[in-house]
Structure 1
């Protein structure tokens, strides 16, 4: 399943008065799912720790984002994608969105996984690296080297998310199925 567009998620976020952009909201959703948080239509309120938020409407952009993200995280062919601005956006906008994505991921992962998540050594390193990225600030301009570095960082975050999802969501799910 394909993610809705960045604009669709921004519009949905604005219409609900969430005060969070599309990339950060997608990062939070992915952190929630990677940490073992449940899917269901109440995910938005749980994730943003706001019981007054309505359940996500089936078929809405937010619902499609949740469905696509859950499917992508579970996909063994590594088809997981981050919801970020297109390559034609400026470097500052794209790197800022990536850092926002990491901030959203970090907070929601902590909510879902708890104080002591069952992380592998690689998972602990990946989470620490995502935390460093969440604290980063975009620079105003860059060159081809910076473009290449951003592409590498995006790929790292994508793979780190899959690793953390494996540690905290897939691993426990498979252990339950075996018992």
Structure 2
């Protein structure tokens, strides 16, 4: 059984570089999570091609960083313990780099979510608001003037994003699954 821990940001970056994929790890993780939260097909071998919108992309090697990214993300989204995490640059990186990673994560999420959920997903009012907020965050233009305040703001926004993703996943995946069980 694969652990539900995300691989290190640097490991995913190295693997993407080796594949010559012009994509940042946070952007890829956002795309994957958006795809899964929007109801995209759970397919360990085909997720990377689906998220990249390129059917010719080879599947990640078993036990690679990308394979671990998929396994951990699916487990975290399905976790009843709300263990879901965002793959962002490490806390040892400057706040600006981490904030840019969060914006890229949100942009990736929106693309993956739209790919899987379509133009009019069945969302609750709260989930519609959360999706609109994610779009506003993704379109943000940040400035970094006060490192301590910026650090606190980044933590708050990242926590909001994490909860918003779980809400969207609940509406698009868990809700319909529950309704099918009731019928």
TM-score, normalising length: structure 1 = 0.96
Number of the residue aligned with 2:52: 48
Number of the residue aligned with 2:15: 12
| Structure 1 residue 141: Cα displacement | 4.3
Number of the residue aligned with 1:162: 166
Q: Give me the whole-angstrom Cα distance separating, in 1, the residues matched to 2:14 and 2:61.
A: 15
Give yes or no for contact 1:24–1:101 (8 Å, CA) kept in 2.
Answer: yes
Map 1:19-38 onto structure 2 (within 5 A).
Answer: 19-38=22-41
Deviations 1:38-80 (A, max 9, x none): 1211111111111110122221111111110011011111110
Map 1:19-168 onto structure 2 (within 5 A).
Answer: 19-40=22-43, 41-168=45-172
TM-score, normalising length: structure 2 = 0.94
Moved over 3 A (4+): none
Which one of 2, 5, 9 corresponds to residue 2 of structure 1?
Answer: 5
Give yes or no for contact 1:56–1:63 (8 Å, CA) kept in 2.
Answer: yes
Count residues in correspondence. 179
Superposition CA RMSD, Å: 1.1
| Structure 1 residue 168: Cα displacement | 0.5
Q: Give me the whole-angstrom Cα distance separating, in 2, the residues matched to 1:141 and 1:93.
A: 14
Q: Give me the whole-angstrom Cα distance separating, in 1, the residues matched to 2:145 and 2:57.
A: 38
Q: Give me the whole-angstrom Cα distance separating, in 2, the residues matched to 1:39 and 1:15.
A: 25
Give yes or no for contact 2:9–2:90 (8 Å, CA) kept in 1.
Answer: no
Number of the residue aligned with 2:179: 175
| Structure 1 residue 112: Cα displacement | 0.3
Q: Give me the whole-angstrom Cα distance separating, in 1, the residues matched to 2:64 and 2:91.
A: 26
Gaps of 5+ in 2: none
Q: Give me the whole-angstrom Cα distance separating, in 2, the residues matched to 1:162 and 1:103.
A: 16
